[in-house]
Amino acid sequence: HEVGDKLLVEVARRIRAAVREQDTVARLGGDEFAVVLEGVSEAKEVLPVIERIIDSLAEVTTIGGHEINSSTSVGIAMFPENGSNLSELLRAADLAMYQAKSSGRGRYQFFADAMQEEAQSRHALEWALRRATERGEFQLVYQPQICLRTGRVIGVEALLRWMNPTRGLLTPYHFIAGLEEFGLINEVGEWVLQTACEQVRSWHDIELEPMRIGVNVSAQQFEDPMLIDKIRGALKETKLPPEFLEIELTESCLMSDPREAGALLRELRQVGVRIAIDDFGTGYSSLTYLHDFPLNALKIDKNFVQSVEANDRGGPIANMIVGLGKNLGLDVVAEGVETEGQLEYVRNHGCDIAQGYLYARPEAPETM
């Protein structure tokens, strides 16, 4: 904290040195500062000042022997075009600042009307997703996974859908990022776990051959300290034996902090659920950790599966993943299998399980 405080003081000093006598510098809170540049008639007049600020803050700061690198993102709002009062101007500058931030370090960005629209449509999405969560507008569809040795369905993957009252049935592409951004993913994820376990449990009750259920867990859910309890809760309430639940995690979710991830995976293993790495091959995996993680399956990303027939790198990469998975003693699942040719290829190269439109699209339980 002490270093942080000193850094803020130094940042303020540098900003003041970069602006002109008549300008105003204020700290808004946290690491956010505001600068009021007075007597500016044209937008381009502010640029030399902005560049001075960005450059001076990019210089290394030494505090108590620590060398600190920092970078700045600047959002610019013009009066009166972008707002007629202080709060409108600050909001516009803030939106522009976030835009600058997302385009990289040390950038600036002028406010544009497009941002206003985006902010408004994001507001609308947030409101709609909150309502959807409260009213239960989400549904699960299920896609079978086929054992290539026996030809039997050995499991299904649960995939989330949103029945939007105006736009109809939406795939996760339209809303998962929103659920994460607005902090709703954990609540919806808990519902997914509960509903998926319940569904497969009801199939167990009527069918002879019990199948597994795959549930996707996003990086944010993986960081939820209550995740293990939620999984335990869902299993307990639905009386589903844990070995029938397979949690699907992506490489990036495991590899951002592999030590922590490893500890959590071992806890999951203790609960008795299976663990699969999803979209394997699209992120990057440390092979050391891969070896140490208690895994059960690798799912080859559909992009590789879909290019195995074409004369490119899909085949060799798919082969490598199968080899890696097999050598680690894991089940290897080919997802996104759409053609007989792809199926033949992945079967001949040692995949254990296949999933894709060739067999079935994800469907609601009542139509399966």
Q: Which residues bind Ca ion (CB under 5 A)?
A: 216, 248, 278-279
Determine the Cα–Cα distance for residues 217 and 294; give it in Å rounded to an integer: 16
Stretch of 8-16, 44-52, 56-64, 330-338 contacting ligand C2E, by CB under 6 A: 330-338
Of the pair 126, 180, the CB lying nearest Ca ion is at 180
Q: Is 308 in the site for ligand C2E (CB under 6 A)?
A: no
Closest CB 299 distance from ligand C2E, rounded Å: 7
CA–CA distances in Å: residue 202 to residues 211, 234, 248, 274, 365: 11, 14, 21, 20, 11
Of the pair 70, 194, the CB lying nearest ligand C2E is at 194
Closest alpha carbon to 6 in 60, 71, 64, 59: 64
Among 181, 223, 338, 363, binds ligand C2E (CB under 6 A): 338
Of the pair 49, 298, the CB lying nearest ligand C2E is at 298
Binding partner selected for residue 172 from ligand C2E, Ca ion, none, CB under the kind-specific 5 to 8 Å limit:
ligand C2E
Give burial (CB, 10 Å; 0-12/13-18/19+) of 287. exposed
Stretch of 79-87, 125-133, 147-155, 210-218 contacting ligand C2E, by CB under 6 A: 210-218
Q: Is 362 in the site for ligand C2E (CB under 6 A)?
A: yes
363, 187, 274, 352: CA torsion to nearest 10: 30
Closest CB 141 distance from Ca ion, rounded Å: 12
Of the pair 79, 359, the CB lying nearest Ca ion is at 359
DSSP assignment of 165-215 equals TTTEEE-GGGTHHHHHHTT-HHHHHHHHHHHHHHHHHHHHHH-SS--EEEE
DSSP assignment of 285-297 equals --HHHHHHS---E
Q: Is 251 in the site for ligand C2E (CB under 6 A)?
A: no
Closest alpha carbon to 334 in 146, 141, 142, 143: 146
Q: Is 278 in the site for ligand C2E (CB under 6 A)?
A: yes
Residues 169 to 208 in contact with ligand C2E, rule: CB under 6 A: 171-173, 176, 189, 192
Among 160, 253, 298, 343, binds ligand C2E (CB under 6 A): 160
Binding mask 218-237 for ligand C2E (x = CB under 6 A): x--x----------------
Q: Is 143 in the site for ligand C2E (CB under 6 A)?
A: yes
- Indicate the pairing of strand 61-63 with strand 32-36: unpaired
Determine the Cα–Cα distance for residues 230 and 236; give it in Å rounded to an integer: 10
Structure tokens at 192: 């997914």
Of the pair 70, 339, the CB lying nearest Ca ion is at 339
Q: Where are the beta strands (DSSP E) in 96-137?
A: 108-110
| 204 in Cβ contact with 212 (< 8 Å) | no
Binding site for ligand C2E (CB under 6 A): 143, 159-160, 171-173, 176, 189, 192, 216-218, 221, 248, 278-279, 302, 335-338, 356-357, 362
